[in-house]
Structure 1
Amino acid sequence: MIFIAACALTTRAQAVFSQSNTATAPASMVTPPPLAPFAAESSPGLNPAWRLSGLPGNRVALTQFEPGLVQGESALRIRTQQSYGVLTHSWRGTAPADLAWRWQLVQGLAQADIRTKNADDAALKVCVMFDQPLHDIPFVQRVSLSLARAASGQALPSATLCYLWDSRYPAGTRGTNPYSARVRYIVLNGVETTPGQWVDQRRRLADDFASLFGDESAVMPPVIAIAAGADSDNSGGDSLAYLARLRWVD
């Protein structure tokens, strides 16, 4: 069972983690930098600080990420067509108090179900990856993570917190990703939110980490990366969403 769990982590969950391994100086040595904008400054397309990854082996098409103007807002257009994709921004250190952004869901995924493997898709998500101490992690999960790291050759994050806009469950729904217990989520906007409108979000990261991982770690560990993504490869649907003003707030 441990080996099976490790294999699951090195396939679907590995895609989320695969761009988060750039080393930087310890947080105590530098001032925490801001998050880079999605758009490149001097050329069309994505800022190179945001790196695109898909499923290992490129088994399915990549989700489309396109920076541009949306209703006068500088935003990231996120489009899935039975696809999978994650943009990852390496960022190491002690995070400021809050993470803030605004987002908009235009077309959701009616068939997606974040609680099942065969339909685990999200039309819009923002994730934070942490360097949680291994000794805080339950034994079976720790062994599974170690096997996954060895199999992938990557320093996979030990804890990932994802904020979701979901079309099935209501805001406030919390849970564990069906592929890996090291990935946990909070639905911020759900079935009660009308699509097609901007919604502002601001989250106290330490509080959310405590609510999902507090039974393991008493203190929030350093952040190692921020990610934005969407996928519809399991449920087989298409989706459209926008993400803007992703930033740290003291």
Structure 2
Amino acid sequence: MNHDASRSPEKHRKGAVFARGGAVAVAAAATLVVLTGGLLGCAHAPADDATMVSDAPATKHSEVLGAAARALFQTPVAGGEWQVMRMPGKTYEPFESVSRVGRPALQVSARRSVSVLRQRFEPGLDGVGALDFSWMVEALPHGADLKRADATDAPVRILLAFEGDRSRWSPAAHRLSELSRLITGEPLPYATLSYVWSRDDAPESVVFNPRTDRIRKVVVDSGKQYLGQWRDHTRDVRADFIRAFGEEPGPMTAVAVMTDTDNTGTRLRAWYGAMRLSAARSVGTSDMR
């Protein structure tokens, strides 16, 4: 009797389960690299030739974009430069400095793409106060669903990454963070709070990322009612973090704006207007950049 053959159904079943589990873990890690590790928590994300900006026109564009972002997005002085994050395997559509309905803005023309602009804080910011921001979108991603891993596109979002007590993490969160470390060289942020425009979720609802509960989204706009209009928001970051995560926020390590339509393949335009992130104490103009 061939003993290997007699055990093959069970071995095949276990092998299939392992393969499925591994595929899920890899997919989750890839998603988290895009959403948090790559754009918020990683100073040395892996890059291939497609992600490297080395020619003079691209460098010039980056300089112009950085200047426009600094003028438009005000954050405490601890913040570094605003940087484009290009994700391997994802199409990047550039941010453009424009005027939209009388306001200066950064425009993204999304085409099955992921466009991210982020700023890191070293050291992290303690005691973050209010976040004031404005955005506009002309359309919503077709079939987008923030609760589905294969459809989590959003026309606009602002992401805030925080450090915290990682001993509170579940074993699954530790495993995903280790995968991120292997892929990017950096662990995941302890927690990521995201402000989003949703297709269907009710305003003020909190939506957990379908792959990990370390990313939680607060819906501030929803549906088609305000398409083509500037939307102005002021958020109490500490209160939103406590509502979303049930604990006090730790130091904030990064902020990013992100427009993504890669899952749904949608083409749309989105605009980010002025944004101001304040420390909990009162800060003067000289403390902002």
By the TM > 0.5 criterion, same fold?
Answer: yes
Q: Deviations over 1:152-190 (max 9, x none)?
A: 312321211110012222312321112332211011000
TM-align CA RMSD = 2.5
How many Å apart are 1:100 and its aligned residue?
A: 0.9
User: In 1, Cα distance between the equivalents of 2:217 and 2:41?
Assistant: 22
Tell me what 1:45 maps to.
Answer: 65
Give the corresponding residue for 2:260: 231
Q: Secondary structure at the match of 1:145?
A: helix
Aligned to 2:232: 200
Contact 1:100 1:247 (C-alpha < 8 Å) held by counterparts: yes
Distance in 2 separating the partners of 1:192 and 1:235: 17
What is the SS of the residue equivalent to 1:246? strand
Gap regions ≥5 residues in structure 1: 24-39
Q: TM-score, normalised by structure 1?
A: 0.81
Where does residue 114 of structure 2 map in the other structure? 84
- Alignment of 1:163 with 2:195, yes or no, is yes
1:8 maps to what in 2?
27
Q: Radius of gyration: which is bigger?
A: 2
Question: Percent of counterpart pairs with the same letter?
Answer: 24
Distance 1:12 1:224 in 2: 19
Residue aligned with 1:178, SS: coil
Q: 1:57-136 to 2 correspondence within 5 Å?
A: 57=88, 59-91=89-121, 92-136=124-168
- The Cα offsets for residues 122-146 of structure 1, whole Å up to 9 and x where unpaired, read as 1110110011221122232223323
**Using the alignment, how far apart are the partners of 2:114 and 2:211 within structure 1?**
15
**What is residue 251 of structure 2 aligned with on the other side?**
222
3-state SS, counterpart of residue 189 of structure 1: strand
Is contact 2:108–2:115 with CA below 8 Å preserved after alignment? no
* Bigger fraction of residues in helix: 2
SS at match of 1:100: strand
Q: 1:20 aligns with which of 40, 62, 69?
A: 40
Counterpart of 1:32? Answer: none
User: 2:29, 2:179 within 8 Å by CA — same for their partners in 1?
Assistant: no
Quote the offset at 1:118 in angstroms: 1.8
Could you tell me which runs of 5 or more consecutive residues in structure 2 were left unpaired when the two chains were aligned. 1-17, 44-59, 70-80, 281-289
- Counterpart Cα distance in 2 of 1:5 and 1:183: 17
**Larger displacement relative to structure 2 (85-94 or 167-176):** 167-176
1:213 aligns with 2:213: no
Separation in 2, partners of 1:229, 1:166: 13
CA distance in 1, matches of 2:203, 2:111: 25
Q: Distance in 1 between matches of 2:168 and 2:253?
A: 17
**Partner-residue secondary structure (3-state), 2:200:** coil
2:128 partner SS: coil
| Cα distance in 1, alignment partners of residues 166 and 252 from structure 2 | 15
Superposed CA deviations along residues 215-234 of structure 1, whole A, max 9, x for unmatched, are xxx32111000010011111
State how far apart, in whole Å, the 1-side matches of 2:42 and 2:103 are.
30
Number of equivalent positions: 228
Compute the displacement of 1:21 (Å): 4.6
Shift of 1:5: 5.6
